[in-house]
Structure 1
Amino acid sequence: MLSKGFWADRTPVHEAARSGEIVQLRQLIESGACVNAVTYDSITPLHEASLRGQAQCVKLLLDAGAQVDARNIDGSTPLCDACASGSIECVKVLLSHGAKVNPPLYTASPLHEACMNGSSECVQLLIDVGANLEAHDCHFGTPLHVACAREHLDCAKLLLQAGANVNAAKLHETALHHAAKVRNAALVELLVQFGGNIYARDNRGKKPSDYSWSSSATARCLEYYEKTPLSLAQLCRLSVRRAAGHRGLDKISRLQIPPRLIQYLSYN
């Protein structure tokens, strides 16, 4: 009965938004249908359209008064759903209508969803509009944790370039632990270059190298960095970036130093 009730709770507006039936959706709105109707799990038509990348429906619903930051039973907003679908068009429409990029603490943010999906374009847009790089979800950790756990190298690099804390911990587990667990040597290399602590221990007392298979590329990479100090140039780069502070790329770009050094400090 519960399953039947769930589906019976859906309205024609939900269905039109979900399937991208723009003409039908417009007719329903003009006839007075409610654009903020919710299912038993608090899903609105705007959630449906956003999750399926129906940008025209998203705009039509918003123009008709849909609540841009409505939350479903899991706490997700339409912007979260648009990022989960990787629809940059929907993300832009929602942001232009005032969607909040930073939700309350300890819930998955739009940036988490974009990193989970591996949509680097969405990640960059969210960073540009002020997404909290250290937003912490109680299950997933920070967006960087998500990007590394899902092996989305491009997303991880964008976060790190923007100033994400490479050593942020979730139960003492860092992004490097995730990279080691998924056995991704390229991710390990990236994280170390941005100052990842190869000696960090998680709540089980294990270092990242403890999660790598012996003689694997990841194990060799971690072993190399455990035995070989970082170069002076790399240490200086990390020191300058720390001094610049959170989101310090703008400050770095204005330094009166050669462009080549600017590029080095910005990891370009």
Structure 2
Amino acid sequence: MKTVPLPRCLWIFLQVSVQFLTCFLAGCWSERTDVHKAASLGQASQLQDLIQSGASVNVVAVDSITPLHEACLRGQAQCVRLLLDAGAQVDARNVDGSTPLCDACSAGSLECVRLLLEHGAKANPALTSRTASPLHEACMGGNSDCVKLLITMGACLESYDLYYGTPLHVACVNEHTDCAKVLLNAGAKVNAARLHETPLHHAAKNMRVEMIETLVEFGANIYARDQHNRKPVDYTTPGSPSAACLQFYETTPMSLQQLCRLAVRRKLGTRALKVIGQLEMPKLIIAYLCYQ
């Protein structure tokens, strides 16, 4: 008899239901505990006393938030360290599927992010229909240092969120040029599309000239059309700097120098920065290829 796979949404519902029943029967569901409160407020000495007195560091509230989630949401690095050293589950998920690493990235706490990764947190936790990746969260908040660290630890540049698209989409939607530059230099696909909508469409909608220039320098397709059959320039205000910028790129061919840089970067992909740095060529050329 052929087995019919469950729809993803039903599968997620069943997983959450099983988690709820398991915790309910074990008696570990509660409202926000003293451990949650101490972790959230950064009360390290009080948290240490609670841990030493036998309080569970993995107790979950009705929304499945653990004390570690609370500490990461508030960027309380000292409490994060105490909880992890006491055995807190580093990849625990709340009811929305977010891990403490997602919360630390959302808060922009580089120290918390580093602590979690050092304790084995997954840089690429499995995504659900309600969850963005840690890299998405860092880009959403414009936390470029967190973005750099996540990429160093192997975060997937093309992790795809059903609502946002790729991390590059998120950076462009939220107008975080620094994050976009980090992603692009690491090898993110500049023409990745969500419903045919590219990061350049978002930059054009936001009228951000610097973002537009950055994307085009990394090879963005200025003629790409979205689900409404509109090019990026169609989302700009006529006569605006962003419209003038895109019209310039449409009427001015790329230089041979720029075309060569794009060809090298496309060929090397995510290995570009590592490989280019090892080439025996003038530093000026290396700096150009690395967009420095």
Give the whole-Å Cα distance in 2 for the aligned partners of 1:224 and 1:105. Answer: 40
Kindly tell me the number of residue pairs found equivalent between the two proteins. 262
1:139-178 map, 5 Å = 139-178=163-202
Give the whole-Å Cα distance in 1 for the aligned partners of 2:204 and 2:142. Answer: 19
Q: Deviations over 1:89-108 (max 9, x none)?
A: 11111111111101114641
Q: Deviations over 1:158-198 (max 9, x none)?
A: 11111100000111111000101111011000000000001
Question: For 1:247, which of 271, 283, 286 is the aligned residue?
Answer: 271
Give the whole-Å Cα distance in 2 for the aligned partners of 1:26 and 1:223. Answer: 61
Give the whole-Å Cα distance in 1 for the aligned partners of 2:88 and 2:283. Answer: 47
Matched, 1:17 2:36: no
Structure 2 partner of 1:49: 71
Structure 1 partner of 2:14: none
Give the whole-Å Cα distance in 2 for the aligned partners of 1:105 and 1:197. Answer: 28
Structure 1 partner of 2:143: 119
Give the whole-Å Cα distance in 1 for the aligned partners of 2:270 and 2:150. Answer: 16
Per-residue deviation at 1:256?
A: 2.1
Give the whole-Å Cα distance in 1 for the aligned partners of 2:253 and 2:267. Answer: 21
Per-residue deviation at 1:247?
A: 3.1
Give the whole-Å Cα distance in 2 for the aligned partners of 1:118 and 1:160. Answer: 15
Matched, 1:30 2:52: yes
Q: Deviations over 1:93-147 (max 9, x none)?
A: 1111111101114641111111111111111111111111111111111111111
Question: What secondary structure sits across from 1:53 in the alignment?
Answer: coil
Structure 1 partner of 2:205: 181
Structure 1 partner of 2:80: 58
Give the whole-Å Cα distance in 2 for the aligned partners of 1:51 and 1:105. Answer: 19
Q: Aligned partner of 1:157: which letter?
A: K
Q: Deviations over 1:179-220 (max 9, x none)?
A: 011110110000000000011111111111111111111100
Matched, 1:76 2:76: no
Question: For 1:230, which of 250, 254, 258 is the aligned residue?
Answer: 254
Normalising by the residue count of structure 1, what TM-score does the alignment of the two structures yield?
0.95
Instruction: Give aligned-pair identity as a percent.
Output: 65
Give the whole-Å Cα distance in 2 for the aligned partners of 1:188 and 1:245. Answer: 21
Question: What secondary structure sits across from 1:248 in the alignment?
Answer: helix
Per-residue deviation at 1:251?
A: 1.1
Normalising by the residue count of structure 2, what TM-score does the alignment of the two structures yield?
0.87
Question: Any unmatched runs of 5+ in structure 1?
Answer: 1-7
CA RMSD of aligned residues (A): 1.3
1:192-231 map, 5 Å = 192-231=216-255
Structure 1 partner of 2:24: none
Per-residue deviation at 1:16?
A: 0.6
Moved more, 240-249 or 166-175: 240-249
